[in-house]
Amino acid sequence: MKTVCQTEELRAAVAKARAAGMKVGLVPTMGAFHEGHLSLVREARGENGFVVVSIFVNPAQFGPDEDIGKYPRDLEGDSRKLEELGVDLVFAPGVEAMYPPGAGTKVVPAPGLINRMCGLTRPGHFEGVATIVAKLFNLVEPDAAYFGQKDYQQSVVIRHLARDLDFDLEVRVLPTVREDDGLAMSSRNAYLSGDERREATALFRALTAGGAVIERGEREASRIRAAMQEVIESAKGVQTDYLEAADAETLEIRERLIPGRVVLAGAVFLGKTRLIDNILVDIPE
């Protein structure tokens, strides 16, 4: 496994693999790996001759009130895990390599995808994500790129980005990996105190409760939100940021659900830690 920090080195290594006829898979990450990340890497390893993992804590997707300095980082530990999984290339650039002085061009996702859910609490976040992902797509030109379903809104933004900007690649979105009690794995779980960790399962329980009322025939979004909110309120120290039922393709929020695939998505605060999660529910005709 090779690690490079400069974009020229990245392009050269990928070009060599491609000249050798290999299919290239890209797993974009911000490091601090848990099983969720590793499941993406395993999938990429199984489907490609050459696997690139990028590790970059992207300042453009953090707001002014979000402490990027506190984001967990463990390049050494992460590299050991990637080596074990047989990754070919790690791209771990510094900020200057990705945003040289004067770089100001941004990729702005369609407003309808970002003026809701996480986009309301984190203005500018999805521009930051779309910009860095577009840059990585341009640098690596992968055949396939791998993302986790846990960041559902992000995955929709990236699918649309790839389609709208004609990136010739497959966007693969893989299932959320959960702890035994249902909590979605996240690098941010490391911030939780013991008590917060115990209460953190409320989000997944709330989404599951929302799914159950849909299964029983409820179609009014307000009642589905209320069923989810009730579970959050029964937990100690958990505050709702949002709980929504949205069209899984377009993220459109309807007051009455119609047949098709719906994403139940939510974000909650436990102290200063913000956790997100979602589940998919199919509504029959």
Positions touching ligand PAF (CB under 6 A) are: 28-30, 58, 61, 129, 132-133, 151, 154
CB of 86 to ligand PAF, least distance (A): 21
Q: Can you tell me the distance from the alpha carbon of 196 to that of 198, in angstroms, rounded to the nearest whole number?
A: 5
DSSP 8-state symbol, 246: E
Closer residue to ligand PAF, CB minimum distance, 135 or 225 = 135
Query: What is the 3-class SS of 107-147, one letter each residue?
Result: CCCCHHHHCCCHHHHCCCHHHHHHHHHHHHHHHHCCCEEEE
Least distance (Å) between residue 135 CB and ligand PAF: 10
Which residue's CB is nearer to ligand PAF, number 154 or number 189? Answer: 154
User: For 165, phi and psi rounded to 5 degrees?
Assistant: -100, 15
Beta carbon of residue 151, minimum distance to ligand PAF (angstroms, whole number)? 5
* Rounded least distance, CB 50 to ligand PAF, Å: 19
Distance CA 173, CA 245 (A): 19
Shortest separation between residue 224's beta carbon and ligand PAF, angstroms:
27
CA distance 83 to 1: 6
Nearer to ligand PAF, 61 or 79 (CB): 61
Report the C-alpha gap between 218 and 90 in whole angstroms.
47
Chain CA centroid to CA 243, Å: 17
Count of C-beta atoms within a 10 Å radius of residue 193:
12
- Residue 37 annotated among the catalytic residues of the structure: yes
CB of 75 to ligand PAF, least distance (A): 15
Instruction: Rank residues 151 and 244 by Cβ distance to ligand PAF and give the closer one.
Output: 151
The span from the CA of 15 to the CA of 256, in Å, is: 50
Q: Cα–Cα distance between 183 and 205 in angstroms, integer?
A: 9
Nearer to ligand PAF, 30 or 171 (CB): 30
Look up residue 131 and give its two tokens.
């910009």
In the bound state with ligand PAF, the residue whose beta carbon lies nearer, of 78 and 199, is: 78
Give the DSSP H or E segment for 60: none
> 68 by DSSP, 3-state: which?
helix
Question: Which of the following is catalytic: 34, 37, 125, 160?
Answer: 37
Q: How far are the Cα atoms of 50, 185, 225, 237 from residue 83, in angstroms, in the given order? A: 13, 21, 43, 39
Q: Active-site positions?
A: 37
